[in-house]
Amino acid sequence: MKTYQTDQIKTIVLLGNSGSGKTLLGEAMLFSGGVIERRGTIEGKNTASDYRPIEHENGNSIFSTVLYTEYLNKKINILDTPGLDDFSGGVVSPLYAADSAVLLINVQNGVEVGTEIHYRHAEKVHKPMIMAVNGLDHEKANFEKTFEMLKERLSSNVILVQYPVNEGVGFNSIIDVLKMKMLRYGKDGGKAEVLDIPADQADRAAELHSALVEKAAESDEALMELFFSNDTLSEEEIRKGIAKGILTRGMFPVFCLSAKQNIGTDCLLEFIVNEAPSITDMPVPVNSKGQEVKPNPAGPASVYVFKSSIEEHIGEINYFRVYSGKITENLDVINTNNGTKERLSQLYVCAGKNRSRVPELHTGDIGAFVKLKNTKMDHTLNAPGNDWRYQGVIFPAPKYRTAIKAQSESDDEKLGEALNKIHLEDPTIIIEYSKELKQIIVHGQGEYHLNIMKWHLDNIYKIPTNFNAPKIPYRETITKAAQADYRHKKQSGGAGQFGEVHLIIEPYIDGSQELTMQKFGGKEIKLSVRGKDEIELDWGGKLIYCNCIVGGSIDARFMPAILKGIMEKMEVGPLTGSYARDIRVYVYDGKMHPVDSNEISFRLAGRNAFSIAFKNANPKILEPVYDVEIMVPSDRMGDVISDLQGRRGMVLGMSSEKRFEVIKARVPLAEMNKYSTALSSITGGRAMYTMKFAEYVQVPGDVQEAVIKAYTEEEEEE
């Protein structure tokens, strides 16, 4: 294949609801550029983009795919994405690597949930966007209605570049109001025959042309002046205005397509080649030092890996974009993320699973490496002497969790390896080995997302697993002061053991005063703090350990052993075995034995004294609560709120955004199990939500009882 320079490269990402025709459009684009010789179909399971077993099984894209085509002497990198919200990881990384998006709209349905979700993903990262109404050959096609929905539900900046003359069965003609021509397609689509606009379309075409000219003029002051003095603009001027308007998202031009019949693909490709932004038009990426990395074709080589995948017979493939300079085969580079050296022994460009070897790639281009040892998704590679690192893809936070276990213990190690690979290919699947919960917790975007992961474990990795209810990481703390003594004494054979500890514990709040005196059962205990350890607990909160020993009743050398004993109980709280937090301990007295006292004795005495005091200090269970933000269509708000209340949720606020209501609430994690599935059924899949850990709060009395009961029963079973 020919080598393309920076100004000959465009990179687009295909967005749109599942079923809007992204994969089929990708196929038509590859075919139009001669990259493939035959157009595959979704039903035939032979498209370049949907090549993985799970995609054949489901008839749907699950992962993003890197494709390219060659058109009018330019290379267009095409990143196909999955349409379902559960797979949004496969949307955000291609969006990062692309300079503009093509949003497909299925003309039977108009704006769908996934259309809005993808629109918002692109909006968040300010990507320019072209829209294409697809499926115009379908008997239920309704272009007018679809365009109205685009205006009303997405943006008032949508503007028609084309409209269909004869949508529905037999569709073959489009009026292009930029070119002011009619485009007519033959039976196999492909290249249009360019005709004059027929008389019966002249008025409508002229009206839409004016609207387009006006919108194009708005994006540039010089053009606006020209427009005012001449009352119109030339095609070249309009194109210039559109290109500028797209760049600032002041304009979303709308095209017509039948991906299935390959109608309209030629015009869309031509438009991308000429008007879509390239890397040099876009805001300059910033590296980790806050410096801008100019996409300079003559600069030092620098690439960012935006996607990793594992392919049959090959192993790991890393897809990257060149952000500066050019890379050539056998170039030595440094991985800035881990400092290792890599040699780029083989460079490829990819059209799905088909790869072609290339000798070099220039700034703005996308390619793939195989066989790199220490490089993966989100890493930056630089020519020696440079330590740039890009800010990188920001993945959506997880919002669905389950516990997973191999059916056979002998598969445990294999399961760990498989989960690592799954995470590499899909960073929105996060694996947590929770020592605390004694579970492997898998976090993802939704129930379907994790079921697809399980499908891979079953069918590709051949590891039978079960999903179990994930436990909740409760915490324990105390709500009043308590005192306890404990004597550990053992005198059977050999050396004896002796240690006695007297301590007081109280709830700790940052900045609170230390006790100086405390009464227990009419007895006054004076406390004067001589030494203090402030321990930031790994699991959140603090333990403050105060040494108040007077008169040498316990040797200073035993104090660390007592703390060790206390920490053992902090790690396995006395109520439910959960981590304890936010406690201040005063060790103020005790006894030693001249021969038998040793570290073990004091560790055990400290542990037991602490445990007794804890139980008398009105202990409470804390649970994690999450900030949940839900976007719901207005007509479903009431249902969503009453469901939240049933989940012990507290609604903190509501606001309106376009046709959506945004609900902010705090909900205990324990009540969020399978929330995405429930929300989807309440709203017909039209809602979106995010969740983020907020804080630990005390559980209500009835919940505390239930949690302790469940723990006790579980302990008895073991």
Ligand X SMILES: Nc1nc2c(ncn2[C@@H]2O[C@H](COP(=O)(O)OP(=O)(O)O)[C@@H](O)[C@H]2O)c(=O)[nH]1
What is the DSSP-derived secondary structure letter of residue 20? S
Distance of alpha carbon 357 from alpha carbon 579, whole angstroms: 54
User: Of 18 and 382, which CB lies nearer to ligand X in the complex structure?
Assistant: 18
For ligand X, the binding residue among 6, 16, 90, 271 (CB under 6 A) is 16
User: Where are the strands (E) in 407-561, listed by range?
Assistant: 430-434, 439-444, 465-468, 475-477, 482-490, 497-507, 517-520, 523-526, 531-536, 542-547
Name the region of 51 (left: φ>0; alpha: ψ -120 to 50; beta: rest). Answer: alpha
Sketch the per residue contact string, 53 through 72, with ligand X: x for CB under 6 A, - otherwise: -------xx-----------
What contacts 710, CB < 8 A, 6 or more positions away? none
Binding range to ligand X, per CB under 6 A, among 12-20, 236-244, 301-309, 646-654: 12-20
Q: Which does 608 bind (CB under 5 to 8 A by kind): ligand X, Mg ion, none?
A: none
Q: Which residues of 548-585 are buried (b: 16+ CB within 10 A; e: fewer)?
A: bbeeeebeeebbebbbebbbebbbebbbbebbbbbbbb
Q: Which does residue 687 bind out of ligand X, Mg ion, none, counting CB within 5 to 8 angstroms by kind?
A: none
x/- track of binding to ligand X for residues 163-202 (CB under 6 A): ----------------------------------------
Cβ distance to ligand X smaller for residue 100 or 335: 100
Among 6, 8, 11, 23, the residue binding ligand X under the rule CB under 6 A is: 23
Give min distance, CB of 41 to Mg ion, in A. Answer: 12
Position 523: which residue type? K
Query: Token match 């990793």: residue?
Result: 308
137 binds, among Mg ion, ligand X, none (CB under 5 to 8 A by kind): ligand X
- CB-wise, 10 or 22, nearer to Mg ion? 22
Q: Using CB under 5 A, which of the segments 22-30, 209-217, 337-345, 487-495 binds Mg ion? A: 22-30
Residue 61: CB minimum distance to Mg ion, A = 3
Label each residue of 566-626 as H, E or C: HHHHHHCCCCCCCEECCEEEEEEEEECCCCCCCHHHHHHHHHHHHHHHHHHCCCEEEEEEE
Shortest reach from residue 280's CB to ligand X, in Å: 30
Q: Reduced to 3 states, what is the DSSP secondary structure of residue 251?
A: coil
- Pick the piece of the chain touching ligand X (CB under 6 A) from 135-143, 401-409, 422-430, 551-559: 135-143
Cα Rg of the chain, angstroms: 32
| Under 8 Å between Cβ of 539 and 475 | yes
Residue 109 sits in the site that holds ligand X (CB under 6 A): no
Q: Select from 6, 8, 11, 23 the one that contacts Mg ion (CB under 5 A).
A: 23
Helix (H, G, I), strand (E, B) or coil at 295: coil
CB of 264 to ligand X, least distance (A): 9
Query: Which residue number, 61 or 88, has a Cβ lying nearer to Mg ion?
Result: 61
Among 6, 20, 375, 597, which residue interacts with ligand X (rule: CB under 6 A)?
20
Closest contact distance (angstroms) between CB of 259 and ligand X is 4
Q: What does 108 interact with, of Mg ion, ligand X, none (CB < 5 to 8 A by kind)?
A: none
333 sits in which H/E element? strand 331-335
Binding status of residue 109 toward Mg ion by CB under 5 A: no
For the sheet with 366-370, list strands across it. 341-344, 331-335, 380-382, 302-311, 315-324, 366-370, 347-351, 354-357
* Shortest spacing between CB 394 and ligand X, in angstroms: 24
Q: Is 647 exposed, middle or buried (0-12, 13-18, 19+ CB in 10 A)?
A: middle
Part in contact with ligand X (CB under 6 A); list of ranges 89-97, 129-137, 354-362, 668-676: 129-137
683 contact, one of ligand X, Mg ion, none, CB 5-8 Å limit per kind: none
Indicate whether 21 belongs to the interface with ligand X (CB under 6 A). Answer: yes
The contact mask relative to ligand X for 26-55 (x = CB under 6 A, - = no) is ---------------xx-------------
Query: What φ, ψ does residue 123 adopt, rounded to 5°?
Result: -60, -40
CB of 282 to ligand X, least distance (A): 25
Number of DSSP helices (H) and strands (E) in the chain, helices first: 16, 38
Reduce the DSSP state of residue 688 to 3 states and report it.
Answer: strand
Kind and range of the H or E run holding 274: helix 265-275
Please provide residue 293's backbone torsions phi and psi, each rounded to the nearest 5 degrees.
-105, 100
Of positions 8, 11, 17, 61, contacts Mg ion by CB under 5 A: 61
Number of residues that bind ligand X (CB under 6 A): 20
* Of residues 242-261, those binding ligand X (CB under 6 A): 258-260
Q: CB 22 → ligand X: shortest distance, Å?
A: 4
21-29, 386-394, 560-568, 695-703 -> range binding Mg ion (CB under 5 A): 21-29
Of the two residues 84 and 605, which places its CB atom closer to ligand X in the complex?
84
Q: Which long-range contacts does 513-522 make (Cβ < 8 Å, 24+ apart)?
A: 514/546, 514/584, 514/586, 515/481, 515/586, 518/481, 518/483, 520/482, 520/483
Q: Measured between alpha carbons, how far is 318 from 410 in angstroms, rounded to an integer?
A: 31
Residue 111 CA to residue 429 CA, distance in Å, equals 28
Give the shortest CB-177-to-ligand X separation in angstroms: 21
Work out which of 56, 138, 421, 591 binds ligand X, going by CB under 6 A: 138
Q: Give the residue with the Cβ less far from Mg ion, 88 or 439.
A: 88
Partner interacting with residue 335 (select from ligand X, Mg ion, none; CB below 5-8 Å by kind): none
- Residue of this chain nearest to ligand X (CB atom): 21
User: Which tokens is 399 given?
Assistant: 């919002």
Please choose, out of 132-140, 187-195, 505-513, 597-605, the segment that lies near ligand X by the rule CB under 6 A: 132-140
CB 266 within 8 A of CB 255: no
Residues lying near ligand X in the complex (CB under 6 A): 16, 18-24, 41-42, 60-61, 83, 134-135, 137-138, 258-260
Residues lying near Mg ion in the complex (CB under 5 A): 22-23, 61
